[in-house]
C-alpha cells in the first residue's frame, strides 16, 4: 500500500530498496535488456576488416568507429520517433472505432453485480461494498481494509499485487490528463550494466522503457440512498451530483515488446482505479496486478503460490505506478514546487503527443527520476 500525494512521486511509501539512490552520474544511453555485450570483442575479431574499411574510406579507425556510433544513434532515434508516431496513430484509430459506452439506458444496481459494459472486475468481486457503505467506516478504515486484503494474496505474501488509495480530486485531475494524453513511455532504471552516453562517457546505469496506455470504462452505479444517509462519513458536499467518475485502467508493456506485437503485446502490469467510494468517502481505490509468468499461469491450483514467478518485480511495479503520478498529476504548475519536476513532466507528455519530432528520450531520462 502506498499513499498518493500531490507533492512528488518521492513521497510514496516504498521499501528501503526503492529509496536507495545510486551514485550521482549522468544518465546513460538507453539499452534494451536483451542487448549484447560491449563492442570490443567484435572489434578484436574483425580488426583487420575494420582497418581495411577505414583505409578504403581514407579515414582513421577511430573516426570510422565514431561515424558508426553516430549512425547507430541516428537510426535508434528515428526508430523511436517512428514508434511514437505509430502509437499515436493507433490510439487515434482506436478511439474512433471504440467510443465509450453511453449511459442512456442505465440499469438499476443489484448487490455484488456490475450491470455495465466494463471489462474489468467490479470492486464487489474483492470486497463487500454494500456492507461497507451501510455501516460506519471512515476513508482511513477502508484504505486499511484494502491494504490488508492485498497483503493476504499469494499465500499471505502479497506478491503480484500493489494497492493505493487516491483522493478523488487528484484522481479526477489524472483522469482528465489521461483522456487528453492516453499514452506515454516510462523508463525503469537497471543497475549493473555499462553503457556509453551520447557524450562518450562511461556509465553503469541502463534503463528499460515501458509503454503506458490508459483505457476508460463506464462508472459503477452510485451508492444506494441508505448508504448516503451516513452523512458523517461523506466527504463531498450534499448538493454535489451523485454521479461517480469513470473507472480507468492503465496498462504497462515493455516498449520493445509493444513495438513487435502492438495490440497483441502482453501487459506486465495492469492498474485499475475503482471510484465506488468517490462520493461517500472522497476516495478512489487503486489495484495493481502483475502478470504471472507463463509457467506460473499454467500451474495447478495445488502448487505453492508463494513461489509464483511474475513478469515484473514488486519494486518495478511500484515505480511504474509512481510514473503515472509523476506524469499525469501536474500539480499547481508552479516553477517552485518541492522537486521542480511538474512542469518538465507536463512538457514531456505534451511533446510525446503534440510534437513527437521534438520529443527526446534523453530529456525523458533526465527528468524521470522516480526515487
Q: pLDDT tens digits, residue range 345-363?
A: 999 999 999 999 999 888 9
pTM over 0.85: no
Average pLDDT over residues 96-106: 39
Tell me which range, 51-55, 119-123, 264-268, is most confidently predicted by mean pLDDT: 264-268
Return the C-alpha torsion angle 91, 320, 291, 165, nearest 10: -100
Q: Look at residues 244, 247, 243 and name the one whose alpha carbon lies nearest to residue 217.
A: 247
Predicted pLDDT at 335: 53
Local confidence band at 124 (pLDDT 50, 70, 90 cut-offs): very high
Of residues 179 and 6, more confidently modeled: 179
Average pLDDT over residues 166-171: 96
Average pLDDT over residues 193-222: 73
End-to-end CA distance of the chain: 16
Are 357 and 81 a contacting pair, CB within 8 Å? yes
Local confidence band at 85 (pLDDT 50, 70, 90 cut-offs): low
**H-type alpha helices, 206-313:** 225-228, 255-261, 278-281, 294-297
Local confidence band at 199 (pLDDT 50, 70, 90 cut-offs): very low
Cell of 360: 527526446
Predicted pLDDT at 178: 98
Predicted pLDDT at 306: 63
Predicted pLDDT at 58: 84
Of residues 16 and 81, more confidently modeled: 81
Task: Kindly report, residue by residue over 260-276, the tens digit of the pLDDT.
Answer: 988 889 999 999 999 99
Predicted pLDDT at 238: 45
Q: Give the mean pLDDT of the chain.
A: 74
Predicted pLDDT at 38: 43
Domain assignments of the chain as residue spans, ordered by start: 2-42+122-366
Local confidence band at 146 (pLDDT 50, 70, 90 cut-offs): very high
DSSP states of 52-76 as a string? HHHHHHTS-HHHHHHHHHHHHHHHH
Predicted pLDDT at 44: 56
Predicted pLDDT at 46: 66
Predicted pLDDT at 118: 54
Local confidence band at 222 (pLDDT 50, 70, 90 cut-offs): confident
Handedness of CA 251, 252, 253, 256 (dihedral sign): positive
Of residues 201 and 345, more confidently modeled: 345
Among residues of the chain, what percentage have pLDDT more than 70? 60
Average pLDDT over residues 235-260: 80
Task: Kindly report, residue by residue over 8-35, the tens digit of the pLDDT.
Answer: 333 333 333 333 333 333 333 233 233 3
Predicted pLDDT at 84: 60
Predicted pLDDT at 310: 94
Of residues 327 and 106, more confidently modeled: 327
Average pLDDT over residues 91-106: 41
Amino acid at each position: 500500500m502506498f499513499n498518493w500525494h500531490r507533492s512528488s512521486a518521492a513521497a510514496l511509501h516504498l521499501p528501503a530498496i526503492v529509496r536507495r539512490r545510486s551514485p550521482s552520474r549522468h544518465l546513460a544511453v538507453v539499452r534494451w535488456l536483451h542487448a549484447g555485450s560491449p563492442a570490443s570483442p567484435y572489434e578484436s575479431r574483425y580488426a583487420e576488416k575494420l582497418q581495411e574499411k577505414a583505409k578504403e574510406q581514407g579515414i582513421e579507425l577511430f573516426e570510422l568507429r565514431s561515424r558508426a556510433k553516430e549512425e547507430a544513434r541516428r537510426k535508434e532515434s528515428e526508430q523511436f520517433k517512428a514508434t511514437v508516431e505509430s502509437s499515436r496513430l493507433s490510439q487515434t484509430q482506436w478511439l474512433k472505432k471504440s467510443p465509450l459506452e453511453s449511459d442512456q439506458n442505465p440499469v438499476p444496481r443489484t448487490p455484488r453485480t456490475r450491470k455495465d459494459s466494463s471489462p474489468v472486475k467490479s470492486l464487489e468481486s474483492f470486497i463487500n461494498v454494500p456492507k461497507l457503505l451501510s455501516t460506519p467506516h471512515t476513508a482511513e478504515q477502508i484504505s486499511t481494509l484494502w491494504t490488508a486484503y492485498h497483503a493476504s494474496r499469494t499465500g499471505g505474501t502479497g506478491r503480484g499485487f500493489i494497492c493505493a488509495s487516491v483522493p478523488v480530486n487528484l484522481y479526477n485531475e489524472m483522469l482528465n490528463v489521461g483522456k487528453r494524453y492516453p499514452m506515454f513511455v516510462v523508463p525503469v532504471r537497471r543497475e549493473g550494466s555499462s553503457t556509453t552516453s551520447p557524450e562518450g562517457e562511461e556509465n553503469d546505469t541502463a534503463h528499460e522503457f515501458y509503454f503506458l496506455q490508459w483505457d476508460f470504462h463506464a462508472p459503477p452505479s452510485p451508492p444506494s440512498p441508505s448508504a448516503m444517509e451516513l452523512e458523517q462519513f461523506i466527504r463531498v458536499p450534499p448538493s454535489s451530483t451523485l454521479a461517480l467518475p469513470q473507472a480507468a485502467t492503465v496498462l504497462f508493456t515493455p516498449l520493445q515488446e509493444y513495438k513487435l506485437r502492438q495490440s497483441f503485446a502482453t501487459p506486465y502490469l495492469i492498474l485499475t482505479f475503482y471510484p465506488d467510494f468517490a462520493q461517500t468517502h472522497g476516495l478512489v481505490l487503486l489495484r495493481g496486478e502483475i502478470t504471472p509468468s507463463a509457467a506460473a499461469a499454467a500451474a495447478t491450483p495445488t502448487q505453492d503460490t508463494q513461489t509464483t514467478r511474475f513478469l515484473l518485480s514488486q519494486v518495478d511495479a511500484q515505480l511504474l505506478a509512481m510514473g503515472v503520478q509523476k506524469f499525469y498529476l501536474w500539480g499547481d504548475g508552479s516553477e517552485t514546487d518541492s522537486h521542480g519536476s511538474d512542469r518538465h513532466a507536463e512538457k514531456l507528455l505534451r511533446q510525446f503527443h503534440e510534437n513527437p519530432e521534438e520529443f527526446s528520450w534523453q530529456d525523458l531520462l533526465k527528468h524521470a527520476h522516480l526515487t
